[in-house]
Amino acid sequence: MVPVSVVIITKNAADIINGCIEQARKLTDDVIVVYNGDDDGAASIVEGHNCKAHKKNWDGYGANKNKGIEEAKYGWILSVDADEIPDDELIKAIHAIDLSDTRVIYDIKFRSYFGGKPIRFGSWGRDHHIRLFNRNWVKWSETMVHETLVIPSHFQKKKIAGAIHHYSVQNVQEFDNKGSYYAKLSAKKYFRAGKKAGLIKLYISPIFGFIKNYVFCLGFLDGREGWEIATITVKNTRRKYHFLSQMETYGERQPAKDRLVVEY
């Protein structure tokens, strides 16, 4: 065991959280799971693994991650979501780290899956995130979507062996639903920040994004899944700026039929 706390946030993910917790227990004796009020059985699973379960109101991704960090036993934090599983190579690499320097952050490779297929190319194939850090210096931003870590400028970033395996979506419909949900949150975030949905954002940006993802980043080599990722990503970029343009006219009001609740 190493003095690293693993903080997991989950929302309606009882069917996939087992693997995440099992890997986390290989690393540490301090695993914290933060779940929202709409529990679907995750709490009983967590208790079965002898982890700390904390039921919290849903205040956004970054906010709930910070709530978990506050409950942690150790200063070093490995932050993951319920559908993200650290592999054995990463666990071994973390065991070997010198944790005496708290001003280092660790960038971890992500291996994403569409259904059961690993995605090797496109934007998903290049995915990596900083997920191992010391809470005395680093916290999550508390934006409503696409939270980021607030990191002092003088910190050193290091890569680490191994990967986090991200079981993001099971099928096209789930990906489409998630995309619509994120597009609405992103539009609201942009609206509050005073950003505008111009013609370039509405029409040029989605096309450029498709070419970059599918052609330049070789997304076509992932076959049917690569095509679906590229096309739905274009659709969601258009959605985001379409929702933003509507908010510029009508404000943040959303029709009840458009509200979606999905696992992040």
Counting residues of the chain whose pLDDT is more than 70, the rounded percentage is 91
CA 192/CA 156 separation, integer angstroms: 32
Confidence at residue 52, expressed as pLDDT on a 0 to 100 scale = 87
- Of 248, 250, 254, 261, nearest to 193 (Cα)? 248
Residue 40: which pLDDT band, with cuts at 50, 70 and 90? Answer: low
Summarised one tens digit per residue, pLDDT across range 54-79 is 888 888 889 999 999 999 999 999 99
Residue 163 region by backbone torsions, left for phi larger than 0, else alpha for psi between -120 and 50, else beta:
beta
Structure tokens at 237: 């970029």
Q: Classify strands 117-118 and 104-114 as parallel, antiparallel or unpaired.
A: antiparallel
Whether the predicted pLDDT of 166 surpasses 90: yes
Mean pLDDT, range 244-264, rounded to an integer:
62
- The whole-model pTM stands at 0.88
CA 132/CA 4 separation, integer angstroms: 9
Confidence at residue 102, expressed as pLDDT on a 0 to 100 scale = 96
Confidence at residue 61, expressed as pLDDT on a 0 to 100 scale = 86
Mean pLDDT, range 191-196, rounded to an integer:
90
Whether the predicted pLDDT of 127 surpasses 70: yes
Whether the predicted pLDDT of 96 surpasses 60: yes
Q: Which range has the worst mean pLDDT, 10-14, 156-160, 206-210?
A: 10-14
Confidence at residue 253, expressed as pLDDT on a 0 to 100 scale = 66
Summarised one tens digit per residue, pLDDT across range 234-247 is 999 999 999 999 99
Q: Which range has the worst mean pLDDT, 55-59, 74-78, 101-105, 170-174?
A: 55-59
Domains of the chain: 4-169 (3.90.550.10), 172-258 (no CATH)
